[in-house]
Copies of this chain bind each other. A is one copy, B any other.
Amino acid sequence: MVLYKGITLQTACFFYMLFFSTAILAQQPADFVNPFIGTSNFGATFPGPIAPRGMASISPFNVSGSQNRPLEKDSQWLSNPYVNENKFLTGFSQVNLSGVGCPDLGVILVMPTTGIVETNHLKYGSTYSNEVAKTAYYGLNIDKYNVKAEFTASKRVGVSKFTFPKGQSNILLNLGLGLTNEEGAMVRVVSSTEIEGMRSVGSFCYNSPEDAYPVYFVAKFSKPADKFGVWKKPAKYKGVEAQWMGYNGKARMMENTIKTVVGDSIGSYFRYNFEKEETVEVKIGISYVSIENARENLEKEVGTKSFDAVYKETYNEWNEELSKILVEGGSKDENTIFYTALYHTLIHPNILNDFNGEYPEIKRSKIGKTDDTRYTVFSLWDSYRNLHQLMSLVYPKQQSDMVKSMLEMYDENGWLPKWELNSTETFTMVGDPASIVITDTYLKGIRDFDVQKAYTAMLKGADQIENNPLRQGLKDYIEKGYLTTNDRGPVSTTQEYNASDYSISLLAKALGKTKDANRLKKRSLSYKKLFDKNLKLLRPRTFDGKWYEPFDPVSGANFQENVGFIEGNAWQYAFMVPHDIKGLMKLMGGEKDFSNQLQKVFDSKQFDMANEPDIAYPYLFNYIKGEEFKSQEMVKKLVKEYFQNKPKGLPGNDDTGTMSAWLVYSMMGIYPIAPGEPIYTITTPMFDKITIALDAPYYKNKSIVIEREKNKEGHIKAIQLDGKAHNSFFISHDEFVNGTTLKIIQN
Contact = CB atoms under 8 A, between A and B. Distances in A.
A613 B719 CA distance: 104
Given A74-B239, A234-B183, A235-B264, A206 B245 contact: yes
Interface string A224-262: 000000001011010111001111000011111111111
A186 B183 contact: no
A240 B239 CA distance: 26
Interface residues of A, number: 50
Nearest to A245: B206
B240 A75 contact: yes
A262 B206 contact: no
B258 A367 contact: yes
Given A253-B210, A254-B210, A198 B74 contact: no
Contacts of A244: 77, 206
Given A74-B239, A209-B247, A247-B209, A364 B184 contact: no
A364 B257 CA distance: 5
A652 interface: no
Contact of A74 (B74, B235, B240): B240
Interface string A193-210: 000001010010010011
A210 B239 CA distance: 20
Contact of A258 (B183, B246, B263, B364): B364
Contacts of A130: none
A363 interface: yes
A181 interface: yes
A209 B234 CA distance: 10
A727 interface: no
Interface in A262-282: 262-264
Contacts of A261: 184, 200, 214
Contact of A256 (B216, B235, B365): B365
Nearest to A185: B262
Contacts of A257: 363-365
Interface in A129-143: none
Nearest to A103: B241
A263 B184 contact: yes
A264 B235 CA distance: 10
A366 interface: yes
A367 B211 CA distance: 35
A209 B231 CA distance: 11
Given A235-B264, A263-B184, A264-B235, A363 B211 contact: no
A198 B367 CA distance: 22
Nearest to A200: B262
A76 interface: yes
Contacts of A264: 235, 263-264
Contacts of A221: none
Nearest to A288: B259
A213 interface: yes
A232 B77 CA distance: 25
Nearest to A205: B244
A675 interface: no
B77 A252 contact: no
A106 interface: no
Nearest to A240: B75
A99 interface: no
A672 interface: no
Contacts of A256: 363, 365
A241 B206 contact: yes
Given A74-B239, A260-B214, A206 B246 contact: yes
A553 interface: no
A340 to B, nearest CB: 31
Nearest to A199: B262
Nearest to A257: B364
Interface string A336-368: 000000000000000000000000100111110
Interface in A467-511: none
27 contacts: A74-B239, A74-B241, A76-B240, A77-B241, A77-B244, A183-B234, A186-B186, A186-B260, A198-B260, A200-B261, A206-B244, A209-B234, A209-B245, A209-B247, A209-B252, A210-B253, A210-B254, A212-B252, A214-B259, A214-B261, A214-B262, A256-B365, A257-B363, A258-B360, A258-B365, A258-B367, A259-B360
Q: For the complex of A and B, list the 8 residue pairs with the smallest distance between their C-beta atoms, beginning with the closest.
A: A206-B244, A256-B365, A259-B364, A210-B252, A184-B262, A209-B247, A262-B262, A257-B364
Given A210-B252, A258-B366, 8 more contacts: A76-B240, A186-B260, A200-B261, A206-B244, A209-B234, A256-B365, A257-B364, A262-B262
